[in-house]
Structure 1
Amino acid sequence: MIKKILLVLVAIIAVICIIASFQSDDMNVTRSATTTAPPATVFKIVNDFRQWDAWSPWSKLDPTMKKTLEGPPEGVGAVYKWSGNNEVGEGSTTLVESKPNEKVGMKLAFVRPFAGTSDVQFTFTPEGSGTKITWAMQGKKPFVGKIMGLFMDCEKMCGDQFNEGLANLKKLAEAAPKA
């Protein structure tokens, strides 16, 4: 009887692994929001890690998260490192591209809960008298990520956090003093 149960479990695990192996290696998440603030205002907030706690959805998930900033205070070379609870994990974000009022590009490196890297871009497109903010992230899914994706919608979970962050960013940008 135990042998049959073990064989069934092994078969189930094998089927899950086979199905996961056919999942895409690529992970892409993109969300957008529109604000009445001009591109320069939104760019200034995103380009400066010192302002991230005011709008980042992950800061609220672990208010006691340890954070350090390295390099210049803003722009290319600025580094934000964090280590927190299981909801936020540990890693670093490095600004690798900074085009005033247009784009901020980042390299995101996770240490835990799973090691991995992703490329992140914030783009700021004039729209009417305001700005369309697009937050995009691309990376490779490790095999364990493919398995997890069979049981939970990781794109939606991350996308929901992007939406929350964009809503917070919009409020912050619209409350900023007008230039």
Structure 2
Amino acid sequence: MKFLKRLLYFIVLLLVLLLVISFFLPSKVHLERSLQMNGVKPASVYAQLINLKTYNNWMPWNKQDPNIKQTMGDKTSGKGASYSWESKKMGNGSLTITDVLENKSVKADLNFTKNDTAKAGWDLEEKDGGTNVRWFMDSEAGGGFFSKAISKYLFLYMDKMLGKDFEDGLASLQKAAAANPALPNMPDPKMELAEITTPSRNLLYIKTSADNFNDIGKKLGAAYSEIGSFAKTLNLKMMGAPMAFYSGPDYPMQIEAAVPVDKLPPATQGSINTKQLLESKAVVIHFWGPYELLPKAYDKIKEWMKANNKESNGASYEVYIGDPGAEKDPYKVQTDIYQPIK
């Protein structure tokens, strides 16, 4: 019995001591992480941050519970946009975008419970051909006496508890922004669509990959140079403009850089491969404009296929008729986008 009393006294004394110590602990906590997103424009990052419907692509806590229930507010993009969540694993909460500065910063209020709140934000700085993103969060202990004391102790470990989540979130944000580059504010390109039958082609190609949009041109240039040198040694004739096949919108993006030739060689060397592109029905868009606006051509193809009940019959590919290195006006550079159809 004496032991139990002593144990009880010890526990009470320990609790009192912890409460007294909590008075001297900081009532606020600041957490931040930064990431240099090479090759990603601020506009692309900003587009991910202001649109709450894209948060599942990169927000770490949204990914940690596959059963999380989300409810979007009346507004889902820009200042005033909000959403809430319910999760047995992550707890309940809400996020509201409170302030935005285009391509510069986004700020938000977070409510994790009735008493726990935080102010978070992302600062964007264009730097070294990419974007330096700083993600920060400031929180203050709230609620009643005991709740504040518990929060203060949790604040001591906040960096260890959430720092890795911030790092993972920034890495995912970089991938999402790179895969969905924001269209620049440019005049619309000229586009002409036609349904055709493409001839068969003999192709020399090299498999390569690009980590971001700006990396594509470098990789294609190197591949075309290698293919050209190989074709020259075998006296193969170029039978058209260089081409490229892409695996999809996500980075790292797999690419096949190809050049049509008059005949396939009996053997290849190095990283060069061969294949034959068979005759096929296709829809083609003749596109004149900057490469950054090419997504508009793909959107137009999708709209046409839906309106005409057409199905794809293989991967789409691009043919680079014009040379942006020789023509300074991008709106005079022609690119043809082909989508084989059934």
TM-score normalised by L of structure 1: 0.91
Give the alignment partner of residue 58 of structure 2, picking from 55, 58, 61: 55
Structure 1 equivalent of residue 30 of structure 2: 28
Unmatched 5+ stretches in structure 2: 142-147, 182-212, 214-291, 293-342
CA contact (8 A) 1:17 1:147 kept: no
Please say if 1:129 is aligned against 2:129.
yes
CA contact (8 A) 1:76 1:96 kept: yes
> In percent, how many aligned pairs have the same letter?
29
What SS does structure 1 have at the residue aligned with 2:118? strand
Structure of greater relative contact order (alpha carbons < 8 Å, 6+ residues apart): 1
> What is the CA–CA distance in structure 1 between the aligned matches of 2:111 and 2:137, rounded to whole Å?
12
- Report the RMSD for the aligned CA atoms in angstroms: 1.5
> What is the CA–CA distance in structure 2 between the aligned matches of 1:133 and 1:103, rounded to whole Å?
9
Q: How far did 1:85 drift?
A: 1.7
> What is the CA–CA distance in structure 2 between the aligned matches of 1:3 and 1:143, rounded to whole Å?
26
> What is the CA–CA distance in structure 2 between the aligned matches of 1:149 and 1:69, rounded to whole Å?
29
Please say if 1:163 is aligned against 2:173.
no
Please say if 1:147 is aligned against 2:150.
no
Give the alignment partner of residue 95 of structure 2, picking from 89, 93, 96: 93
Letter in 2 for 1:29: L
Measured against aligned partners, the alpha-carbon deviations of 1:95-151 in whole angstroms (never above 9, x if no partner) come to 111111000110111227xx311111111101110000111111202321113346x
What SS does structure 2 have at the residue aligned with 1:108? strand
TM-score normalised by L of structure 2: 0.49
CA contact (8 A) 1:59 1:65 kept: yes
CA contact (8 A) 1:108 1:118 kept: yes
Q: How far did 1:90 drift?
A: 0.6
Structure 2 equivalent of residue 11 of structure 1: 13
CA contact (8 A) 2:93 2:112 kept: yes
What SS does structure 2 have at the residue aligned with 1:35? strand
Letter in 1 for 2:134: T
> What is the CA–CA distance in structure 2 between the aligned matches of 1:130 and 1:159, rounded to whole Å?
23
Count of residue pairs brought into register by the alignment: 174
Structure 2 equivalent of residue 173 of structure 1: 177
Structure 2 equivalent of residue 82 of structure 1: 85
Q: How far did 1:156 drift?
A: 2.0
CA separation of 1:78/1:149 partners in 2, compared to 1, >3 Å: closer, same or farther?
A: closer
Unmatched 5+ stretches in structure 1: none
Letter in 2 for 1:17: L
Structure 2 equivalent of residue 103 of structure 1: 105
CA contact (8 A) 2:107 2:119 kept: yes
CA contact (8 A) 2:29 2:155 kept: no
Q: How far did 1:34 drift?
A: 1.0
What SS does structure 1 have at the residue aligned with 2:26? coil
> What is the CA–CA distance in structure 1 between the aligned matches of 2:65 and 2:30, rounded to whole Å?
25
CA contact (8 A) 1:71 1:77 kept: no
